[in-house]
Structure 1
Amino acid sequence: MESLSFYENQFIKADALISEGNSADAKELLEDILSQYPDFGKAHNHLGWIYYNKLSDYEKGVYHYKLAMKFDSKYPAPYLNYTYLLIDLGRYAEAKEHINFTLANLENADNSTYNSELGRMAEYEGEFAAAYAYYKEATKNALNPNFIDNMNANMKRVKDKMSIFEKLKLKFK
């Protein structure tokens, strides 16, 4: 069996292949890594991403994201990727529970992004005042000007969807 260091380098190659749009070769490389090191959390995350985003195999995406979180519990990427997958599948209750768990337990969780996703779910559910509040919260610790611009656009969009009474409530908060 080759050393973990070799497979960490293989992982870096797989990551580069994904960045280059070569998901097929990246998938093969990740599967090879996992055949030798089945507890390599980052490889599970990337494989989950390929299954979810490139192959639309959501069940395998969920499977690999859960393994990634289990085996590398401090690696933030699978927590966020799993959130996106749950929301895209319309599994909002699970997504909210997962976000709450992540924000409470993951030391380096991106609070702004998770609030943005809570806003997205609230907007999908027609809870425009809640969506507005989440988007506003998302801007508080954000540093990326494009992200802040997107949150401001989201707040404007949901405000336009609100009833007159919801808009009045915003003015008095």
Structure 2
Amino acid sequence: MNTYYTIDEKYLQAVDKLSYGRTPKALQLFNEIVSNDPLYAKAHYQLGKIYYYDLEDYQAAGYHFKTCMELEPGFPGNYYHYLNLAVFLNMQKLVKAIAEKALVVPGVDVADIYELVGLSAEKNKELEKALAAYNNAFDTVTNKTDKRKIEESIERINAKMQRIKAYQYTLVE
């Protein structure tokens, strides 16, 4: 049995377990960290990711992402995953609130945030808003693969808008 002298060492051990696919052990360690120090924001972040992606417990994931954001609002890693969860659950007000906070945090990938905002708007058939968000994402993207993905999103929105225009009729007297 390993003895951990600091909470940071336990955190690093849990992250190591997670990187080697030992999610149950990592989950146990992160929960121990949070029960010993409920203000350890990065443990909440890791728990949020486990609950969202691995266990599909969206309520628990949201709780941990929100807690991390409240405890350490300057931690950039949390925003993408929390926003992704809000988009997935189609929680428009939460999407707006998270995105507004994320866009002012140094280190946050702004293109990713705009892309998720665009996806949320697209899901809700707000095509003009989606197009604006995707254009903002395109303006800030630096990765070639991400750039192509955003270009595809813009093309998809334009095609949807064209299709809608094709079905609009005007009455002429």
- When residues 154 and 8 of structure 1 are mapped into structure 2, their CA distance, relative to the original with a 3 A threshold, is same
| Maintained 8 Å contact 1:30/1:43 | yes
1:50-89 aligned within 5 A: 50-89=50-89
CA apart distance, 1:17: 2.4
**Matching residue of 2:106:** 107
The aligned length equals 164
**Matching residue of 1:38:** 38
Return the alpha-carbon distance in structure 2 between the equivalents of residues 68 and 129 of structure 1: 32
**Can you list the C-alpha shifts for 1:65-117, whole angstroms capped at 9, x where unaligned?**
1221122221112222211111111111221122113324x233321111101
Worse-superposed segment, 11-20 or 109-118: 11-20
Return the alpha-carbon distance in structure 2 between the equivalents of residues 153 and 134 of structure 1: 13
1:19-168 aligned within 5 A: 19-104=19-104, 106-163=105-162
Residue aligned with 1:61, SS: helix
Worse-superposed segment, 79-88 or 7-16: 7-16
Greater helix content: 1
Q: Identity percentage over the alignment?
A: 26
Q: Which runs of 5+ in 2 are unaligned?
A: 167-173
| Maintained 8 Å contact 2:77/2:108 | no
One-letter amino acid of the structure 2 residue matched with residue 159 of structure 1: N
One-letter amino acid of the structure 1 residue matched with residue 78 of structure 2: P
Return the alpha-carbon distance in structure 1 between the equivalents of residues 16 and 138 of structure 2: 31
Q: Which runs of 5+ in 1 are unaligned?
A: 168-173
Which stretches of structure 1, 4 residues or longer, exceed 4 Å deviation after superposition? 164-167
TM-score by length of 1: 0.84
TM-score by length of 2: 0.84
| Maintained 8 Å contact 1:129/1:166 | no
Return the alpha-carbon distance in structure 2 between the equivalents of residues 51 and 18 of structure 1: 13
Worse-superposed segment, 38-47 or 66-75: 66-75
Return the alpha-carbon distance in structure 2 between the equivalents of residues 124 and 67 of structure 1: 27
Residue aligned with 1:162, SS: helix
